[in-house]
Structure 1
Amino acid sequence: MTRLPQERPGWDLSFLRVGVLVTAAVAAVAALVVGLVGGWADAAGVLVGAAVVTSFFVVSGVVIAWAGRIDDTLTLPAALGTFFVKALVLFAVLNALPEDGWLDRLTMAWSVIVGALLWSGVQLRWVWTRPLYYVTPPAPPGQATAPPAPERPTTRG
């Protein structure tokens, strides 16, 4: 019996769309409330913090999925390397911001923390509500994954 090469399941990045939409909605409401209560420099901090967190999760998701499509053993090094690069970039950006600038750095820091927790919640919910298989599920009826075996001639005797 000839076997076809088993197709590897693709990496699902649909959580990114949900995370972006949830973050955009929460950031818009939070920026409005914070802007009215604390000032527009604080509102800018909320929006920049939300953008930082969103970009970090999107970049990580795309890089890890790319590495996983090549080989599953590359996902951890890709995740750690991406995290290291993002931490260096964030450190450089935060050091480049003036202390009394157009956004409040403390508000931005808190919005990064809240945004990371929000994204973690989105990812947890996404994982808990998806059917994740340990093995590739069988093909639905009517869709053969391998060609049918040749028929054997029957002998009567």
Structure 2
Amino acid sequence: MSAPRPAPQVPWDLSFLKVGTLVTGTVAVVAALVAGLVAGWADAVGVLVGALVVTAFFVLSGVVIAWAGRVDDTFTLPAALGTFFVKAVVLFGILNALPEDGWLDRRTLAWAVVVGALLWSGVQLRWVWTRPLYYVTPPAPPGQATVPPAPGGAPTPG
């Protein structure tokens, strides 16, 4: 029988959610104004609802995957795939439930979701490329040596 895996020492960083939300909100407001002036206000609402849907979906995925990673790293892929499947079914239901000639344009909503997903993907790529991600825990900075725990589990004063 194998021993249970220890929980990861490094917490999952969800700071990309704030950046993604701010970027998406800014782009959505500008795009909604342009769409409203050019194509009509039903299109503007479609842009805003699409941006809201994408933001909610990425936030949900980030939180679920981080939770799964805190439990055990091997749960992250199933959590990501399961969440993606549920989101795809929900999006399909939302798009089918909207009337063709309703208070928002379904085609604009769908395109806003596609553009929003690409925008969020770009934000995540940039976030990963600009962060120092370590494969192993980095050593302590000079002068801050870690004190190993005593045999009873409590750290020794050092």
The letter for the 1-side match of 2:11 is G
Q: How far apart, in 1, do the equivalents of 2:15 and 2:33 lie?
A: 28
Larger radius of gyration: 1
Q: Distance in 1 between matches of 2:147 and 2:56?
A: 41
Matching residue of 2:117: 116
The match for 1:71 is 72
Q: TM-score, normalised by structure 1?
A: 0.87
Q: Percent identity?
A: 82
Cα–Cα, structure 1 residues 6 and 50, in superposed 2: closer, same or farther, change >3 Å?
closer
One-letter identity of the residue aligned with 1:96: A
Q: Which AA in structure 2 matches 1:10?
A: P
Residue in structure 1 matched with residue 94 of structure 2 by the alignment: 93
Question: What is the CA-CA distance between 1:7 and the residue it aligns to?
Answer: 5.8
Asked whether 1:31 is paired with 2:32, we answer yes
1:1-157 correspondence runs (5 A): 8-147=9-148
Distance 1:47 1:145, change over 3 A: same
1:105 partner amino acid:
R
State how many pairs are aligned: 145
Q: Indicate if the aligned counterparts of 2:7 and 2:71 stay in contact, CA closer than 8 A.
A: no
Distance, in Å, in 1 between the alignment partners of 2:93 and 2:11 is: 35
Instruction: State the shift of 1:9 in Å.
Output: 0.6
CA displacement at 1:148 relative to structure 2: 8.4
2:21–2:55 Cα contact (<8 Å) kept:
yes
Corresponding residue for residue 153 of structure 2: none
Q: Deviations over 1:117-151 (max 9, x none)?
A: 100100010001000101100122333333389xx
Distance in 2, matches of 1:110 and 1:72, equals: 34
1:15-43 Cα offsets, whole Å, 9 max, x none, are: 00000000000000000010001000000
Q: Under a length normalisation based on structure 2, what TM-score does the superposition of the two structures give?
A: 0.87
- Counterpart residue number, 1:153: none
| Amino acid of the structure 2 residue aligned with 1:138 | P
